[in-house]
Structures are given as C-alpha cells and as structure tokens.
Amino acid sequence: MRHLIPFIKKELRAYFYSPIAYIVAGVFLGLIGYFFYSSVQGFSMQAIQLAGSGQETSGFNPTNIIMKGLFRSMGTVFILLTPLITMRLIAEEKRSRTMELLMTSPLSITTIIAGKYIAAVIIYVIIILSTLYIPVVVEYYSSVSWPHVFAAYFGLILTGMAMISIGVFCSSVTDKQVIASVLTIGILVLFWFVGGVIGGYTEHMSNIMKDLSLFSHFENLYSGLFDTRDAIYLISFTTVALFLSHRSLESGRWK
C-alpha cells in the first residue's frame, strides 16, 4: 500500500498531460454555466409573474428553483463524461503492454485499481467543486439553503464515485478504450433510468428496480434529503464494481 501514493501521482500526471481532462472540465463547466444562466433568467421571469398574483410562494426560493435542477443536470451530464475520464485507465495499460511492468513489480492488483480509481475521483471532485461558484453567486444576490447545497454536493460526489467505479470496471475488461467507454455509458444509462423511464411490468417490480437505480438515490440527496441508506447504497455499489474490476484483472492472467 505504500506504493499507492506514487501510483496516484503517475495517474494524475497522465490526466494533466493529456487534453481529455481539460476537455471534460471545459464541456462540463460550460454546459452547467449555461444551464445556470438560463435558469436564473427563468427564475426572474417567474418571480415577476408571481409577484402580486397572490399565489402560494412557500416553495419558491432560489435553492429549489435554480439549484435543484442544476444538481440534477450535473449528475446526468456526467454519465456522458465519466467514460472519457475512465476509459483510458486500465485498457491503455493493457494495450501498451505497460501492464506487464505493473504486474511484475511489487504492486498488488488492489493498489493498481485503488490508485487508478482514486486519481479519477480526484479529477472528478475538482471538476464538481469548481461549480461551487454557483451557490456563492446565488447567495450574493439572494440566499441559498446551505444544508441543502451540502447534501447535494455530498450526493454528487458519492454518485460520481459510483459512476467512476463502473468506468474502472469497464476499462478492466478490455484493452480497447472505445469498447470501455461504450460499455460504461450503457451500464450507467441503465442504472440511471431503471425504475424511472425503464419501468417494470408491475408496481412492485418498478419499486425494486427503483431501489437499484443510481438516480433515485441521487435524487433524495440532491433534493436536500440526507438519508444514510442512500449513502450506503452508493458506497456498496462502488465497492462491488471495484471488487469486480479486481476479479477481472486477476482472472485475465489465467487465460
């Protein structure tokens, strides 16, 4: 395990040297910035309409109207960006045969997976936390509910960690980055919409499917409801995916 830090360093260096991390960050921040801008406009229009109309306004605050939608968009946009961060991780080591170097040095498979996973999560967290300017701006002009914002960021980070674990797994089963990224998107879309758009035949089945979906757990958190069950689900999901990555690397040697 003491080899973990140099390993994470090498992975981070690879991110900073390649354009992909910058492209992902740029696209993500650009899109979210645009969504922020348009939801602020929508918010002002609604505020003008509501003013003096005598309607109920208790749920009408910037956190609910602007922030909640933005948090959801961040999660959804990241489904498409996760594979760009993770596809390279293991597939590229296999393709360029550097896996032979790693596997014949005193590194365990656990260290390899953990190092790659942690590096990707660090990149993800940096990108996600760059959007913190949004609640700060809202707070400056109006006010935000900080507990809600913290629950939402906590949810974003846990959900992102789960998405990245799937990306790592998909990268471990192939030596082709394209295959890894298509697989990642497929699995993530399935786990995002299952129980929602992808429903079951019966209500009972739909509910079970909903419990498995990443989105329903994320939904509670970004709506400001902190529930340990959601956190536990997301963490277990991540653990299983990383465990499967370990198995896949280990069994790849026995072929």
Partner 1 sequence: MISVQNLTKTFGDRVAVNNVSFDVQKGEILGFLGPNGAGKTTTMRMLTGFIPPTEGCVTIDNLDIFEHPFEVKKKIGYLPEQPPLYFDMTVRECLGFVAEIHGMRGGMIDSSMDHVAELCGISHMLNRLTGNLSKGYRQRVGLAQALIHDPAILILDEPTAGLDPRQIIDIRNLIKDLGRERTVILSSHILPEVTNTCERIAVINNGNLMAVDTIELLSDKLGSEKTIVLNVKRPEHLDTVRLSSVSGVDDIKKHNDNEFVLTVSGGDDVLEKISASVVESGAGLTGIRVKRMTLEDIFLKIITGEKVQ
Q: Of 53, 55, 58, 104, which one interacts with partner 1 (CB under 8 A)?
A: 104
Of 99 and 214, which has the nearer Cβ to partner 1?
A: 99
Alpha-carbon dihedral of residues 210, 216, 220, 226, nearest 10 degrees? 80
Query: Smallest distance from the beta carbon of 103 to partner 1, in angstroms?
Result: 5
Tokens 């498979």 found at? 109
| 251 sits near partner 1 (criterion: CB under 8 A) | no
Query: Smallest distance from the beta carbon of 111 to partner 1, in angstroms?
Result: 9
Kindly identify the residues of this chain, within the stretch 9-68, that bind partner 1 according to CB under 8 A: 10, 13-14, 17-18
* Per-residue interface string for the shown chain with partner 1, residues 106-145, x marking contact by CB under 8 A: xxx-------------------------------------
Part in contact with partner 1 (CB under 8 A); list of ranges 77-85, 103-111, 117-125, 213-221: 103-111
Query: Smallest distance from the beta carbon of 112 to partner 1, in angstroms?
Result: 10
Of 93 and 219, which has the nearer Cβ to partner 1?
A: 93
Q: Distance of CA 229 to CAs 70, 204, 215, Å?
A: 23, 20, 14
Q: Of 65, 80, 103, 198, which one interacts with partner 1 (CB under 8 A)?
A: 103
Interacting residues with partner 1 (CB under 8 A): 2-3, 6-7, 10, 13-14, 17-18, 96-108, 253-255
